[in-house]
Structure 1
Amino acid sequence: MNQRARIAMSDEDVTAFLEAARKLQLATINPDGTPHLVTMFYGLDEGRIAFWTYAKAQKALNLARDPRVSCLVEAGEDYGELRGVLLYGKARRVDDREQVMAIGMTVARRMTPGVPDELLRPYVEKTGLKRIAYVVERTKVVSWDHRRLT
């Protein structure tokens, strides 16, 4: 077995890793073709990466033109601890306000673990007025867990 195969996570490990993490690096494509990279809190919608943003944000403008994204979730400080999941896919815009608010709540819960929903809901309802949401439809998943090398 080659080293790449040894460190790849199973589908179950990928799911558990994405459920446990809070932030990701989101890459969209600028008009000139360069990457636009930002750190985002995210939620999960039926196992898929979901996020929201202001409608006028650069990432939203980029996604309106080209829905392709890369999402990187990573952990670990030392080489032997490095773990990560890189998802390639297309971000599908969510326009249904109820679903936008539901995604907003999943994101807010990750931003502020332990805060009750009744305290988060007013924030989500207020900021959600100017936000749109996306769900990432995966086309490819690459994962690694260097702890498997020992």
Structure 2
Amino acid sequence: MNQRARITMPEEDVTALIESSQKLQLATINPDGTPHLVTMFYGLDEGRIAFWTYGKAQKAINLSRDPRVSCLIETGEQYAELRGVLLYGVAEPVDDPGRVLEVGMQIARRMTPGVSDEDLRPFVELTGRKRLAYVVERTRVVSWDHRRLA
């Protein structure tokens, strides 16, 4: 077995890393073809990455032109600890305002564990007026877990 195959995570480990993390690196494609890379907090919509952003943000402008994205979730400090998931996919816009609010609530809950929905909702509703939400449909997954090399 080659080293690449040895470090590939099984699907349940991929799912566990996605569920346990809060942030990811989101890459969209600028008009000139270069990547636009930002850190985003995210939620989960039936296991799929869900995020929101202001409608005038560069990533939203990029996604309106080309919905392809890459999402990187990684952890570990030393080489032998590195784990990560790279999702390639298409960011599908969420059109229903109620679902946009729910994506915002999912993200807020993950960002502020222990804070009640009652306390989060006014902020999410206020900021959500200017936001767009997206759900990422995966097209390819690449993973690695260097702990498997030991």
TM tier, smaller: over 0.9
User: What's the counterpart of residue 115 of structure 2?
Assistant: 115
Secondary structure, aligned partner of 1:24: strand
Q: CA deviation at 1:88?
A: 0.1
The amino acid across from 1:131 in the alignment is R
Q: State how far apart, in whole Å, the 1-side matches of 2:70 and 2:77 are.
A: 22
Q: State how far apart, in whole Å, the 2-side matches of 1:37 and 1:31 are.
A: 14
Following superposition of structure 1 onto structure 2, how do residues 54-93 of structure 1 map, counting pairs within 5 Å? 54-93=54-93
The amino acid across from 2:93 in the alignment is R
User: What's the counterpart of residue 127 of structure 2?
Assistant: 127
Give ranges in structure 2 of 5+ residues lacking alignment. none
Deviations along 1:104-142, one digit per CA (max 9) or x if unpaired, are 001111111111111111111000000010000000000
Secondary structure, aligned partner of 1:17: helix
1:136 counterpart = 2:141? no
Secondary structure, aligned partner of 2:129: helix
Q: CA deviation at 1:59?
A: 0.1
Q: CA deviation at 1:80?
A: 0.2
Q: State how far apart, in whole Å, the 1-side matches of 2:115 and 2:61 are.
A: 32
Following superposition of structure 1 onto structure 2, how do residues 92-107 of structure 1 map, counting pairs within 5 Å? 92-107=92-107
Query: Which consecutive aligned stretches of 4+ in structure 1 deviate over 3 angstroms post-superposition?
Result: none
Q: State how far apart, in whole Å, the 2-side matches of 1:104 and 1:3 are.
A: 39
TM-score, normalised with respect to structure 1: 0.99
What number of residue pairs does the alignment pair up?
A: 150
The amino acid across from 1:100 in the alignment is V
TM-score, normalised with respect to structure 2: 0.99
Q: State how far apart, in whole Å, the 1-side matches of 2:12 and 2:75 are.
A: 17
